[in-house]
Structure formats: C-alpha cells, structure tokens
Copies of this chain bind each other. A is one copy, B any other.
Amino acid sequence: MAVTASPRVGVIGSGVIGRSWMAVFARAGCTTTAFDAETGQLTRAMQWLQALRTPEWEQVQPCASLAQLVDGVEYIQECGPEQLELKQRLFADLDRVAPHSAILASSTSAYDMSDIARQLRHPGRCIVAHPTNPPHVIPVVEVLGGDQTSPETIARTCGLLAAVGQTPVTLKKHAHGFVLNRLQFALVREAVHLLKAGVADVEAIDTVVREGLGLRWALLGPFGVADTNNDQGVRGYFGGHETWITDLMNQLGPTPTLEPELTELIGQALDRARGTVPRADVRDWRDRMVLAIRRLKASHPVGQRQREGQLP
C-alpha cells in the first residue's frame, strides 16, 4: 500500500511537539486535521503556525472532535501527555474510530508500543514515531514498532515521514530513552559530573561542544567521526587505541545527583552567558541556524565531485 503524494494526516495534541508536527505536515502540502481536548491550546497553536509564515499553514484544520480528526486520514501523529494510561485510552478510542487503513503513531519518548497497544483490536497499525524537539526544525524521527506492529506499518511510516522531509531511523528493539535520549543524557551525565568535580565550568563545557565536538557531530555520527580520525578508519582508531579508550570509558563519572542548588547554579551561569538576549530569541536563533546548516548540507552532499570552488 503506497503512500499517496500528499496524504491526509491528523495530529492529536497541540503543545510544542504537536504544533511543530502540524508545521511539518502542512509544509509538505498535507491536509492536516488537528485536535486538542484543550481548545485554548489548539487556538494558540494555530496562532503560532500563522506566525511561522509557512505559506501552507492554512492546510491545518482544527477539529472539534476525534471523529472529525480521523475522517479520511492515512496517518495519525499522537502528541498527548506522557502518561501510559492516557495513551492507552487514546489509542483505544482511535482504534475504534479511525479508518482501518490509518497508521496510529505516537510521539512518545518514554513508552514501548507493545504496552500502549496491548489491548487493541488492531495493534498491527500502531507504532512509535519519536521526533526530536522541534520536528519542523530537526529532521530525525525514531521509528519502532511494538511486538504486534506489522512490517508494512513500519515501512509505510518510514515512507511517509521521508516524503514529508523528515529522516526516519528504524530501531531494532525498545530501550528506555530509545537511542536519541540515551546518547543525549550520556553527554549530559558526563558534563554534569565534570562540573560537579570542578574540572570545568558551565561555559567551558558548553564551548567544548559547540566550538569543538558539535561541529563534527552536525556532519558525522560518533562512528563516522572515529572513521575520519585515522587513516585506517575506525579499525585503526578503535583498534589502535583500544587500551586508552577502554581506560578512559572506565573512568567516566557516575550518575550525578541533580540537586535544586546545582540546577540553579547552572541556570545562573546560562543567564550570564545569555546576557540581555531573551531565551526565546536564543531558541529562535537555534531553529533558524539549524535550518541553515541543513540547507548547507543538502546543497553540498558528501562525495560530490570536489571541483575547485564547488564546495564551501
């Protein structure tokens, strides 16, 4: 069953993640129905979409009920609160009212679809599609079925997400935090450890990432970086320094406690670094700059014949 050119999709929940998904689908030309039990939040999401100046925001149709949202959709992106019982009830409702061919995808960052869909009549069409905040800026989406999800649902979900401009990544099994948050909090854990151990301050640690490691990680993952760090690639880098690397990994810090005093100290350091720039402006800058980096990467793919002057 192929994905149509601009499928009709539904988005449930209109918080920060939900409204950003609406922007993703609208930008791709999908007619997008939207529902939120809290109508005030949906109104604010529509205002946010309008302010984005995505010309296609009018493709988003706010709905007064689930029944209206599901009408004719191929795909539903659920973005409700992170509470298992609430998601189980919502998926039970959707499974009853949505067209049988519609995929039911959850944005959850916490739950296994096996648990959300356990009691449903049609669990084969249920799937996790976990975005990165915010999905209209960051393309990667972690895709993972539950134990009853059909291979066709996984393939159709990846196809649809790619068609609307996202980068789906299929996981092979569930792990708490999936891949993205596990990697993110592996970095945060060591960063907080180094701060508490007095090795470096907040600004120094952030600078090491944004003027160092992060510049490479915007282009290559940890394995890709290892492969370019040595003339013999990852075989030479891991293989040639195995003792040093293992020793270093064994000396990384344990999980630090996040006392309110520590969080306040980090907050004050970040306030000083921001100075008079409002946090909302930093976020807006981040989003525009990420989109600019993505355009740069899209127009200069790796392996492009490197004639003089063609690469930046």
B-binding residues in A (CB < 8 A):
110, 132-133, 138-140, 142, 167, 169-191, 194, 197-202, 204-229, 231, 233-235, 238-239, 242, 244-252, 255-258, 260, 263-264, 266-267, 269-270, 273-277, 279, 281-286, 288-297, 300, 302-304, 306, 311-312
The residue on B at minimum CB distance from A259 is B242
State in angstroms the CA–CA spacing of A288 and B216 once bound together.
Answer: 11
- By a CB distance below 8 angstroms, the chain B residues around A295 are 312
Rounded to whole angstroms, the CA-CA distance of A285 and B290 in the bound complex is 19
Pick the 4 closest A-B CB pairs, nearest first.
Answer: A206-B221, A214-B217, A292-B312, A140-B212
Cross-chain contact of A257 among B246, B283, B311, B312 (Cβ < 8 A): B246
Question: Number of copies of this chain in the oligomer?
Answer: 2
Given A264-B235, A270-B233: A201 and B221 interface contact (C-beta under 8 Å): no
Beyond the given A176-B247, A213-B217, A250-B255, could you list 18 further A-B residue pairs with CB under 8 A, ordered by the A residue number?
A140-B208, A179-B194, A179-B199, A183-B187, A191-B222, A205-B223, A214-B217, A215-B218, A215-B293, A227-B282, A228-B283, A234-B263, A238-B263, A249-B256, A252-B255, A277-B302, A281-B306, A289-B297
Closest to A311 in B: B288
A140/B207 contact (C-beta < 8 A), A183-B213, A219-B289 known: yes
Complex CA gap A220/B273 in Å reads 11
Enumerate chain B residues within 8 angstroms of A110, measured Cβ to Cβ.
Answer: 244
Task: List, in ascending order, chain B residues with CB within 8 A of A216's CB.
Answer: 138, 214, 286, 290
Question: Is A228's CB under 8 angstroms from B282's CB?
Answer: yes
Q: A251: which B residues are within 8 A, CB to CB?
A: 176-177, 182
